[in-house]
Amino acid sequence: MRVIILEDAEAVAQRALSFFDRMLRQKPDAVLGLATGSTPLRLYEKLSEGCQAGDLRFSDVTTFNLDEYIGLPAGHSQSYRQFMQKHLFQHIDIDPGRTHLPDVANLSFDRGESSLRCEDWQARGAAYDQMIHAAGGIDLQLLGLGRDGHIGFNEPGSSLASRTRIKALTRQTRADNSHFFASIEQVPRLSITMGIGSILQARQCLLMATGAHKSPAVTAMIEGPVTARVPASALQMHPAAVVILDQEAASGLQHRDDYQDAETLQQALESLDH
């Protein structure tokens, strides 16, 4: 795992931008995995600015988002489809037909009942994994980090081999995400999320985390054991995982000097290519 520690959230976004910039120059028809939440917002602004300035092109790019809430009315402002539209898609030259989120149409429990059978619910996740596979797999997967160590909506206890499927949100995650809603009661209880096994199939994973409130999860993810209790720790098993942190998120790490030394070497090696 490559750990990059920078001064602040602005520097984290700028560095994350450089990974997208490099990917899009190497492969203009890249398949990008995208995330929601507050953390990537500044990156999305920078991607939008880069596109508007003519430095970045998305016209041949395909995207797959990590997850989507179940149970919000179509077009709800807090659906992740609307979030992506508002913060990225409407500002860049991407073909809307190439932007994908898990399909949650008709998935809802009305008084505990659903018009769909259990197997129809389960088929949605498998269909999403199949679409990613058919697109050639994800080249660069962006990730945020939940305070409880979740990635996507893979809450603690999720199988490290899981595929895209329906997951219940924990109370903590619903509370954490409630600032996007009028009240916690309005935060959905269910989601479809790429599984941890699905995420690990991306060719490169790029996780951003900022702020002191993420520090315990960051430390557990990087320096703790690989465990389903900390879903993000599965990234230790990924051959090309990069974690970009600000000083606050990195504040609990014990081996900061080692990460810095490794990063200095990495940058020296990369400069040989220029």
String of contacts with ligand GLP for each residue 76-115, x by CB under 6 A: ----------------------------------------
Q: Between 149 and 168, how does the x/- string for binding to ligand GLP read (CB under 6 A)?
A: ---xx---------------
Give the number of residues in contact with ligand GLP, rule: CB under 6 A: 14
The answer for residues whose C-beta is within 8 angstroms of residue 148's C-beta and 6 or more apart is 155, 156, 170, 172, 173, 217
Of 30 and 221, the one with the shorter C-beta distance to ligand GLP is 221
With 0-12 / 13-18 / 19 or more C-beta atoms within 10 angstroms meaning exposed / middle / buried, residue 270 is: exposed
Question: Is residue 66 part of the contact set for ligand GLP (CB under 6 A)?
Answer: yes
Decide if 179 is catalytic. no
Region from 37-45, 97-105, 220-228, 256-264 binding ligand GLP, contact rule CB under 6 A: 37-45
64 forms bridges with which residues in the sheet?
33, 100
Name the residue nearer to ligand GLP (CB basis): 44 or 58: 44
Hey, how many other C-beta atoms are within 10 angstroms of the C-beta on 36?
27
Half-sphere exposure of 251 (CA within 13 A, CB side): 12
Q: Which residues of 169-185 are buried (b: 16+ CB within 10 A; e: fewer)?
A: bbeebbebbeeebeeee
One of 68, 129, 155, 246 is an active-site residue; which one? 155
Tokens for 101?
A: 């989120």
| Residue carrying structure tokens 């990460």 | 259
Give the residue with the Cβ less far from ligand GLP, 94 or 169. 169
Part of the chain binding ligand GLP (CB under 6 A), chosen from 101-109, 120-128, 141-149, 258-266: 141-149
Residue 39 lies near ligand GLP (rule: CB under 6 A): yes
Chain residues binding ligand GLP by CB under 6 A are 35-39, 66-67, 144-146, 152-153, 173, 177
